[in-house]
A and B are shown apart, each in its own frame.
Chain A
């Protein structure tokens, strides 16, 4: 295994220029995914995140075959699929999750068929699905940096509207917020975050970059602001350690980054001061923190009661 010093030396080795580029893109996309992932986790949108990740695939394939911009291709495909899901969900006989299930699998299948027409089929398919740190063109670094910066600015700009709509749609609507447009914006933001991350981490694993750091951050804090700082930090840490381990042990990059993030999650799950397993065990013993539990129970009762009444 390489020491950290050797890794730094490799990063500055002119023969290995792809390595710092890959590291930069991995860290930038984890930061962006960490922030956007907070919304995904808090709204319980993980399934939609997965759907979007699959839906961008045909767009990437078309862009790859036509030698066009991957970001643009992925974005078009992702938004198109989201619109199709929205339209087909109008049929009351089908629930939205079924419609999502149909269209994201279809989009993925289309991507596979399209990319099979391209020369060098097996290699390019594998790098799309599982990520690759080689062969990233310079301009992609700028695209990811630019798209990521715009995404973070938009998130900052409409943060309070997203929060209000996530807390309570009915109240948000009554306050005059365009709840549907806010949801759609959030889907597009998730799509862009996925597209810029696909290159290094791969189509299948990109979901972990959205969910795992944000979920880990949630275990550490009850404050949204802090959560949205912690999640990108955790994501960036996982990307940094993941790229280092994958380079020094010759492991696939995407998989190593995701496993590092998962390890961090498990660690925090056990050790988190307030919501971790250890913290709860300690609180249970000293009798503190038991205040919230009974209230939680009554609340569930209320929900059930209300549900039967409606």
Chain B
């Protein structure tokens, strides 16, 4: 990594006053959010709360009405290529005739540049990424033959091949069984302990309470933001998700 420890004062992601309209309709307003190096932040909220839109505006895939997004202190569009993006699994063409290694290498396509071939450093980054997600022994396997959990690992490796400052994960657990989810969670915790900054959207509230270092409750804007053990006020959950008062879910989340 090029960043020394002295730069940890700068958050990997800093969002200030972000507002986004989609098709003339306001989707997000006044969003402030930081993700520090070595943090795993869970982005939770109901359907249509703007979670995916927030991820997409960090990647500069949607235009913003106002506000700033800084990656590692930099505001430029170029800085966005320092962000590793793990989209939902169904966005990927799994029937493509390509190996695990080939997919991970496509993560570097923007860095390699036009009319150039992948170099030594690119292959080294691919090898490191495969090592991190423990898919090295499956690197020659066609991606169509992988299980759901393995597919998710490939997409994480593809994002890691960029050696990103920040990793964005969009619903990584959806459709996976519990053991696979747990294995994947271990991977994220490991990446976090290695100093990776991670921001992940999820619908698994209890899982997020247990594993995220911080939770950001969002519904059009940030309703609450803090370590899970501090989110004990039932009102913030009710405001975010529209839970009924006294809903058993609140007890479950330790917020009643």
Contact = CB atoms under 8 A, between A and B. Distances in A.
Interface of A: 42, 157-158, 160-161, 163-164, 166-177, 218, 221-224, 227, 291-292, 294-295, 298-299, 301-303, 305-307, 309
A245 B175 CA distance: 53
A299 B109 contact: no
Interface residues of B, number: 43
Contacts of A224: 96-98, 102
B81 A168 contact: no
Contacts of B96: 42, 163, 166-167, 224
Contacts, number: 113
B91 A170 contact: yes
Contact of A164 (B106, B151, B171): B106
A294 B145 CA distance: 10
Interface string B107-140: 1011110110010000000000000000000000
10 contacts: A163-B98, A168-B87, A170-B87, A174-B85, A176-B80, A221-B97, A295-B145, A298-B175, A305-B175, A306-B174
A299 B59 contact: no
Given A160-B112, A161-B114, A167 B147 contact: no
Contacts of A170: 61, 85, 87, 91
Contacts of B118: 160
Contacts of A298: 147-148, 175
B103 interface: yes
Interface string B214-249: 000000000000000000000000000000000000
Contacts of A307: 90
Given A167-B96, A305-B174, 7 more contacts: A169-B91, A174-B59, A175-B111, A222-B144, A292-B146, A302-B89, A306-B175
B157 interface: no
Interface string B173-190: 011000000000000000
A165 to B, nearest CB: 9
Contact of A174 (B83, B114, B148): B83
A127 to B, nearest CB: 37
Identify which of B61, B98, B99, B118 gathers the most chain A CB atoms within 10 Å of its CB: B98
A291 B145 CA distance: 7
A309 B89 CA distance: 14
A295 B109 CA distance: 28
A223 B87 CA distance: 24
Contacts of B93: 42, 166-168
Contacts of A295: 145-148, 151
A222 B97 contact: yes
B3 interface: no
B110 A42 contact: no
A167 B106 contact: yes
Contacts of B102: 224
Identify which of B99, B118, B148 gathers the most chain A CB atoms within 10 Å of its CB: B148
